[in-house]
Amino acid sequence: MRRVALTVNGTRHELELEPRELLVYVLRERLGLTGTTVGCDTSSCGACTVLVNGESVKSCTMLGVQADELEITTIEGLARNGELHPVQQAFHDHHALQCGFCTPGMVLAAVSLIESGEATDEPAIRAGLEGNLCRCTGYHNIVKAVAAAAGVR
């Protein structure tokens, strides 16, 4: 076991972790933050995407102990004072989710894409979301929502 300190959605947690525990299971099972979902366990689908120090990371690809002293944002930490983050709001406005299982990861990937300035047009948004799979929407409305949140056409 190893002692680590993670800051998740602004709250610092000191935890004893097994070295093999994946970050996604630390979030889900140790901290009860089940908004981050597991779709493939193999870094293919992106459902488990979170922000680590502001950058999108597939949390099934990172060990919990690697997150020591890092800042993590999960879907639960995105809305502020009950108000949806603009990307969450755009997903609602544009019907960019159906079953909602990939949505937390997709939203966080989009937040990262927009904040890094890479969401410049539709092709860039499509390329930027390549690591996040959705089986319901065909991406049409996801791309519209991200473009709207990014203020591009």
Residues that bind another protein (CB under 8 A): 20, 25, 28, 33-42, 44-45, 47, 74-76, 78-79, 84, 88, 91-93, 95, 97-104, 107, 122, 125-127, 129-144
Nearer to another protein, 88 or 112 (CB): 88
Nearer to another protein, 6 or 28 (CB): 28
User: Per DSSP, which regions of 54-97 are E strands?
Assistant: 55-58, 71-73
Q: What are the Cα distances from residue 129, in Å, to 6, 17, 40, 102, 143?
A: 27, 31, 17, 12, 9
Query: What span, in angstroms and rounded, lies between the C-alpha atoms of 96 and 108?
Result: 13
* Residue owning tokens 């927009």: 114
Nearer to another protein, 12 or 140 (CB): 140
Query: What span, in angstroms and rounded, lies between the C-alpha atoms of 96 and 10?
Result: 27
CB of 115 to another protein, least distance (A): 18
CB of 67 to another protein, least distance (A): 18
Query: What span, in angstroms and rounded, lies between the C-alpha atoms of 75 and 50?
Result: 7
Nearer to another protein, 71 or 131 (CB): 131
CB of 117 to another protein, least distance (A): 18
Residue 134: half-sphere exposure toward Cβ, Cα within 13 Å: 23
Nearer to another protein, 56 or 88 (CB): 88
CB of 149 to another protein, least distance (A): 13
